[in-house]
Amino acid sequence: MKPSSFDYVRPNTLQEALELLADGTEDSKVISGGQSLVPMMNFRLARPARLVDIGRLSELEVIRTVDDRVHVGARVRHVQLQNTPLGGPLGSLLRRSAALVGHLPIRTRGTFGGSLAHSDAASEWCLLTRLLDAEITVRSIRGERVIPAAEFFVSVFTTAMEPDELLTSVALPVLPDDHRTGIAEFARRAGDFAIVAVLGDVTVSDGTVTAARIAIGGVDDKPFRSAAAEKALLGGTFGLDLLQSAAEAAADEVDPPSDAHGDAVYRRDLVRALLPRALAAGAAA
């Protein structure tokens, strides 16, 4: 339960941080809230040679709305999102998702960008960015680039970022009021990682679904977008029956892993149970 020894640096500016990440030090790792990294270091599952602590980069702690995009800084803490005054279907989804992240002490220290860079396929933020086709901005001394969420998550604990790159912010789309969003997840205990989580964003016009996005966690090694469920929803009459048939389609489509918390058959059952619940608030028959 003691980490192996490591160096520790805490840059004062973004530029300083990027220079450190580019200085050629092997196994350098960015630490933000430390809510995943520190336990992994204590278990010695992660043994970085050096930690670059970005805790002083306050410019990364800002949420800004510009036109039809909400830019969430990498160091925005989960609890800030849980309390965001942002209106509409996006604000509601952010608040409801944030409330499911760990426990209050974890939400108080852990950060949005840290969660994405950690890339756990069951994490609420990885699923939400994938659901909304968010654009993830990363920087290095070589410059800045924007990675679509669909390309950002590569596998468990692996992203498309290069070792010298730092995640700085994420652009989420403002969702008009004809969107219905929701999240439902199943965990054994309050605050645990979900065994299966489902997030949905559907656009309903005169009772008909005109656009649909469904993201599912716990069924793949990265956040999963269910093409089958989205296809099943599109053009249908929004209601419980439609959600249930979309859930069936998603359950048939996924190929989940088995572990101590549940086998593949059980996880499919959870997909069936949770997809309607994620969006049911607006679906009373």
By CB under 8 A, name the binding residues for other proteins.
Answer: 1-5, 43-44, 186, 188-193, 260-263, 265-266, 269-270, 272-274
Q: Of the two residues 44 and 142, which places its CB atom closer to other proteins in the complex?
A: 44
Q: Of the two residues 25 and 244, which places its CB atom closer to other proteins in the complex?
A: 244
At closest approach, how far in Å is the CB of 148 from other proteins? Answer: 30
Half-sphere exposure of 105 (CA within 13 A, CB side): 3
Q: Which helix (H) or strand (E) holds 258?
A: none
Q: Which helix (H) or strand (E) holds 17?
A: helix 14-21
Rounded Cα–Cα distance for residues 101 and 124 (Å): 7
Q: Which helix (H) or strand (E) holds 160?
A: none
Rounded Cα–Cα distance for residues 15 and 28 (Å): 16
Q: Of the two residues 4 and 13, which places its CB atom closer to other proteins in the complex?
A: 4
Q: Of the two residues 133 and 221, which places its CB atom closer to other proteins in the complex?
A: 221
At closest approach, how far in Å is the CB of 106 from other proteins? Answer: 13
At closest approach, how far in Å is the CB of 75 from other proteins? Answer: 25
Q: Of the two residues 8 and 43, which places its CB atom closer to other proteins in the complex?
A: 43
At closest approach, how far in Å is the CB of 219 from other proteins? Answer: 15
Rounded Cα–Cα distance for residues 197 and 121 (Å): 10
Q: Provide the token pair at 11.
A: 């840059």
At closest approach, how far in Å is the CB of 239 from other proteins? Answer: 17
Half-sphere exposure of 274 (CA within 13 A, CB side): 27
Q: Of the two residues 145 and 261, which places its CB atom closer to other proteins in the complex?
A: 261
Q: Which of 103, 62, 58, 56 is nearest to 80 (CA)?
A: 62
Q: Which of 194, 208, 212, 210 is nearest to 262 (CA)?
A: 194
Q: Of the two residues 192 and 252, which places its CB atom closer to other proteins in the complex?
A: 192
At closest approach, how far in Å is the CB of 69 from other proteins? Answer: 35
Strand order in the sheet with 135-140: 63-66, 69-73, 166-173, 135-140, 143-148
At closest approach, how far in Å is the CB of 195 from other proteins? Answer: 8
**Strand, helix or coil at 65?**
strand
